[in-house]
């Protein structure tokens, strides 16, 4: 019996070998690779402190791993292509040995657990040390309705796509609880005359307002610019259904001005909600980040206007030098200069030349 070709639909977004999402163009046709939003906005990311942290992890890992020290010392030529790959692998292992990847792994797990909370699913077995984190997430998001969870969206003019963590909708329950706890209604930030944020100076948040949300378990202070660009791009994108290649407005019509970060530092048992300036992030992503990528693609920045090639006459081989030696002393000099590579064959040639010189 022939299998029904319509019985199953793949839930996996197709990607190319570099992990880029393959997106059907708005006008139809074969899927093309879009850049990931995180990669797109990373063009403007300040990685100075991240690189320093990475170097520190490698140092700590190498100090604790004698096997990696030995492997590094065994590299004869660090500029050799294969040696570079080996050194890169040693550095990665050293970083992992210093728990360089542990926080990222824990963060990914907490993301998954927070998603289960928002879907109303059972958490299953959770290590005791992370239960306070998840309880903090549950409490601080009570009344924030998750109308979109891990949705994929695209921005076609930039040819980028990515997954947002959440689209939250404010409910009256959340806003009333906020007012009762803090003694005032929740307002969006405002801006002063220079465009800088002023806490609580904007319009009051209303029940039903939707907003892009992002769950962060690490330090957010140094990466806020990238976060705002990323969320701003999501807010100005369209939901994409890869199974039929269609686009629709983001669920809930979230704000293009503001997003919210649920900051949940792993292992702290603490949580906070942070406004993110998406309007500023999108303004930068859609102009400066786009400009950087367009600049990097330029192939017309240099042109030859004159050229020539000068070839050097080939150097005489040792065999030729022996055959043309003008004297016995010249033969001795050739032997002295090349004694470490001298062979019996060269001795035979030198002997023949010596006879020729003697007969002359």
pLDDT level of residue 262 (50, 70, 90 thresholds): very high
How many Å apart are CA 113 and CA 163, to the nearest integer? Answer: 17
pLDDT level of residue 99 (50, 70, 90 thresholds): low
Full set of structural domains in the chain with CATH: 22-45+103-171+208-296 (3.90.320), 46-100 (no CATH), 318-359 (no CATH)
* Cα-based torsion angle of the residue sequence 66, 69, 70, 71 in order, rounded to the nearest 10 degrees: 120
Which pLDDT value is given to residue 170? 98
Which pLDDT value is given to residue 198? 85
Token pair of 208 as six digits: 């039903």
Which pLDDT value is given to residue 237? 97
Confidence check: pLDDT of 189 > 90? yes
Kindly give, in sequence order, each residue whose CB lies less than 8 Å from that of residue 163, ignoring residues fewer than 6 positions away: 150, 151, 152, 153
Confidence check: pLDDT of 146 > 60? yes
pLDDT in tens, 12-39: 899 999 999 999 999 999 999 999 999 9
Mean pLDDT of 65-91: 89
Which pLDDT value is given to residue 263? 95
Helix, coil or strand: residue 302: coil
For 223-284, give the DSSP string.
THHHHHHHHHHHHTSEEEETTTTEEEPPTT---SSEEEEEE--TTS---EEEEEEHHHHHHH
Q: What percentage of the chain exceeds 70 in pLDDT?
A: 96
∠133-139-142 over CA atoms, to 5°? 135
Mean pLDDT of 294-303: 90
Other CB atoms within 10 Å distance of the CB of residue 350? 19
Which pLDDT value is given to residue 4? 58
Overall pTM > 0.85: no
How many Å apart are CA 359 and CA 353, to the nearest integer? Answer: 10
Confidence check: pLDDT of 45 > 90? no
Mean pLDDT of 37-60: 85
Closest to 64 in 3D by CA, of 94, 89, 86, 92: 94
∠59-60-65 over CA atoms, to 5°? 100
∠13-15-19 over CA atoms, to 5°? 120
What H or E segment, with its residue span, contains residue 152? strand 144-155
Token pair of 157 as six digits: 């003019």
């Amino acid at each position: 019996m022939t299998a029904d070709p319509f019985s199953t639909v793949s839930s996996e977004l197709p990607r190319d070998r570099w992990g880029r999402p393959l997106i059907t163009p708005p006008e139809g046709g074969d899927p093309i690779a879009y850049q990931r939003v995180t990669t797109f906005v990373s063009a403007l990311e300040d990685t100075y402190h991240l690189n320093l942290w990475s170097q520190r992890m490698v140092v700590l890992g190498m100090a604790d791993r004698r096997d990696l020290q030995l492997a590094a010392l065994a590299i004869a030529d660090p500029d050799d292509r294969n040696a570079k790959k080996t050194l890169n692998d040693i550095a990665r292992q050293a970083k992992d040995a210093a728990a360089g990847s542990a926080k990222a792994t824990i963060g990914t797990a907490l993301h998954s657990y927070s998603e289960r909370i928002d879907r109303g699913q059972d958490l299953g077995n959770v290590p005791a040390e992370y239960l306070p984190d998840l309880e903090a997430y549950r409490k601080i998001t009570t009344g924030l309705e998750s109308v979109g969870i891990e949705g994929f969206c695209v921005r076609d003019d930039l040819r980028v796509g990515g997954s947002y963590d959440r689209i939250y909708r404010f409910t009256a329950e959340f806003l009333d609880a906020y007012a009762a706890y803090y003694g005032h209604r929740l307002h969006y930030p405002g801006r002063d005359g220079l465009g800088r944020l002023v806490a609580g100076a904007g319009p009051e948040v209303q029940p039903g307002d939707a907003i892009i949300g992002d769950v962060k378990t690490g330090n957010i202070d140094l990466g806020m610019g990238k976060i705002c660009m990323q969320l701003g791009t999501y807010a100005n994108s369209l939901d994409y259904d890869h199974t039929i290649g269609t686009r629709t407005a983001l669920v809930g019509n979230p704000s293009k001005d503001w997003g919210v970060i649920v900051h949940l530092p792993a292992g702290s048992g603490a949580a906070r909600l942070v406004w993110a300036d998406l309007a500023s992030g999108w303004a930068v992503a859609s102009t400066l980040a786009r400009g950087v990528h367009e600049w990097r693609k330029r192939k017309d920045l240099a042109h030859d206007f004159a050229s020539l090639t000068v070839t050097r006459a080939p150097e005489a081989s040792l065999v030729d030098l022996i055959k043309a030696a003008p004297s016995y002393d010249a033969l001795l000099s050739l032997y002295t200069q090349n004694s470490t590579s001298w062979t019996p064959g060269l001795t035979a040639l030198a002997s023949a030349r010596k006879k020729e010189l003697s007969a002359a």
